[in-house]
Every structure is written in C-alpha cells, then in structure tokens.
Amino acid sequence: MAFVGSLVYHFVPKVVDRSEAERFTPSGENADPSANIDGIVKMDYAAGQHVMAPQRVGYDTSPPYGGPHDQYWATCTGTVYSSPIRVENAVHSLEHGAVWITYDPERIGSDIETLTDKVDGQPYTMLSPFPGSSAPISLQAWGRQLQVYDAQDKRITQFIAALRQNSNTSPEAGASCSTIPGGFDPSAPPPMDQTAPGPDALPMPVGEGSDPAQIPLPGSGGTDGGK
C-alpha cells in the first residue's frame, strides 16, 4: 500500500502537468492561450530599447516584465540562480521568449525544490530569488505576469506552456538564451540593485507600464487560486 502511495505522490503531479501543458500550448486557432489563465496581467511594451550597465531602468512593476533592458540578456537555458540577478538583463531574456520565475526567499520554503524541478535544464526558462516580491512566487514573460502563492499551482505549468517561446507574444522569440562571452556570466551574474533607481535611470516610455498593484484581468480568480 505504501508503494502505491509513493507512485501516486510522484507520478500524478507529472500527469497533471502534462495535461495542463497540452491544453495551454499555442496553436493556429489559439495564438495566446495565456489569456485564459486566471489572474494573469497583460501589458504591451515596445521592444529593442537598450541600456548599458551600470545605467538602470525606472521600471514601474516589480518584478518587471517588459520595457527597456540591458544590451546583454541573462542566460536562460534552464538556469537556476542562487542569488538575485540584475533585472535589466532578465527583461532582455523575456524579449527572447524566456519565462523568468522569481520567488521571495523569505516565503518560499520547500517550494524551491518544486520550482527548481520545473526550470533546471529546461530551455528558455530561468529561476532566481527576488527579495520583497509582493507574492511568494511570480512568473514573467514578455508583457505577461502571474503571481501565485504555491509552487503546486497548476497555473505555473499553464503559464510556461502558453508563453515560453511564443512568437505571438515575444518580440524576438527564438533568439539565443545562451551565454555571451564577455557579456553575461551565469556563474557570476550581475547582482540585482535593490535601491531605488536614481535620476540617471531610463524612464519607462510614455504609454507603457502598468499598475504596480498587479490588478487581475476582469473575471479572473485573483492570484491565490487555480490549484
């Protein structure tokens, strides 16, 4: 009986993930399945606007999920970062079609293992801590964000399936996620600057950005359901 219980514990979640991934995979009839994910936030951002370190961007969401970004992207080849990374590099990765999962290290607990399993070695994904995030777990793709409270939330699988490498939502889907020598070193990534951007920060372009309260789409179930 214990053996059967062990099988259920290990394999049922994987079957559920596979089913959710199939349901939310983009197709000719459904170019952006993320529109059907409860609690997702959507915003349009112009692409191709770059800054050079150490200049920063005055993002109006935290974590950011679009807008101007560093000329070098963060390595996003299923990369698991142990420390917070520079957000300007991470946003460039989103432009290439990556999904960036962040978590508040003070609230994640054992869920870190589940998130690591979802990211480690998976192309066009990356995981990093983000201290002070408004939710324990936040998922970012270009122009899309979802915040959840539990790593078992099925919407995480839905988000990744719908938006990773989705050419209908990412301006440069298919561009490299690999390391650029001399540009971004994943073994010693540029650290996240947790201070407020200074007067030399590049502001968000007029007409871009969103309410930092992360208001869900009308009719959504909020950010703590969907399990």
- Residue 218 domain-assigned (yes or no): no
Going by C-beta distance under 8 Å and a sequence separation of 6 or more, which residues neighbour residue 72?
89, 92, 180, 183, 184
- Residue 175 domain-assigned (yes or no): yes
The mean pLDDT value of the chain amounts to: 88
Q: In this predicted model, what pLDDT tens digit does every residue of 46-66 receive, in sequence order?
A: 999 999 999 999 999 999 999
How far is the CA of 188 from the CAs of 85, 98, 184, in angstroms? 9, 20, 8
Q: In this predicted model, what pLDDT tens digit does every residue of 81-95 receive, in sequence order?
A: 999 999 999 999 999
Domain that holds residue 53: 2-203
Residue 203 has pLDDT above 80, yes or no: yes
pTM of the model: 0.86
Distance (Å, whole) CA 141 – CA 25: 15
Q: Write down the pLDDT at residue 224.
A: 41
Q: Write down the pLDDT at residue 146.
A: 98
Q: In this predicted model, what pLDDT tens digit does every residue of 66-78 receive, in sequence order?
A: 999 999 999 999 9
- Residue 124 domain-assigned (yes or no): yes
Q: Write down the pLDDT at residue 15.
A: 63
Side-chain-facing half-sphere of 60: CA atoms under 13 Å: 15
Q: In this predicted model, what pLDDT tens digit does every residue of 99-113 receive, in sequence order?
A: 999 999 999 999 999
Among 141, 119, 152, 177, smallest CA distance to 33 is for 141
Percent of the chain with pLDDT over 90: 78
- Residue 76 domain-assigned (yes or no): yes
Please state the domain count of the chain.
Answer: 1
